[in-house]
Every structure is written in C-alpha cells, then in structure tokens.
Amino acid sequence: MRPRHRHVTEAELAYRKMINEWFELIPEPYRMPFSIIALALIFFFMIRYIFGRQVGYTKKHNILGAKISSATLQTLVFMLFMAISTLLSLYYYQKTKL
C-alpha cells in the first residue's frame, strides 16, 4: 500500500523557504561540500562523544562548578568555532555581493 500524500502546512512551507534562503547565502560552489562536511563533522563528534569512555576522553574539568568531560568541552569549542567561521564567511560574502 502506498502512503497517502500528506498535505504540507503553511508553517512547513515557511520553514522550508527560510532554510532555502539561508542556504542561498552560501556561495554556489561551496553549497554541497559545506553540507557534507557539516554532516560528517556532526557524526564524527557524536560518535566520539558516545565512544569517549573507551578512548579516554572522559577526564573531567571543573568549569564554574560544573564538571565537564573533555569530549563535551572539545565538541562545544569546535561547534562555537564552526558557528563563528560560518557567520564570518556569510558576512564577507554578503559584503562582496553588494
């Protein structure tokens, strides 16, 4: 039996449009590699976080009273770095486009 076609809501359409607009900010040649690299890195860090116990990434650091493992710390730092670099590249791309 084929699944019946689900009606797409207004909210879903708006969300897709927003995602597409964001995606169009990335310059044409970089779009595909950018998404692939992002996915690969997310999976890499997820796997490393899950299997961190075996690898020994579980040394705890005491930061502002919160105990944080090395894997979590490295992941957070890396995600912050990725976010900043992405925002910077988009900002410069928009400046050069105008």
Boundaries of every domain in the chain? 10-97
Integer Cα distance of 57 and 69 in angstroms: 7
Q: Collapsing DSSP states into helix, strand and coil, what is residue 70?
A: helix
Nearest Cα neighbor of 24 from 34, 12, 36 is: 34
pTM for the predicted model, two decimal places: 0.36
The 10s digit of each residue's pLDDT in 10-40 is: 888 888 888 778 777 777 666 666 666 777 7
Residues 71, 48: contact at Cβ < 8 Å? Answer: yes
> Could you tell me the two tokens for 50?
């899950």
Residues 56, 70 contacting (CB under 8 angstroms): no
Number of Cβ within 10 Å of residue 67's Cβ equals: 9
* CB atoms closer than 10 angstroms to residue 72: 17
Query: Residues 31-85: pLDDT tens digits?
Result: 666 666 777 777 777 776 666 655 555 667 676 666 767 767 777 777 777 777 7
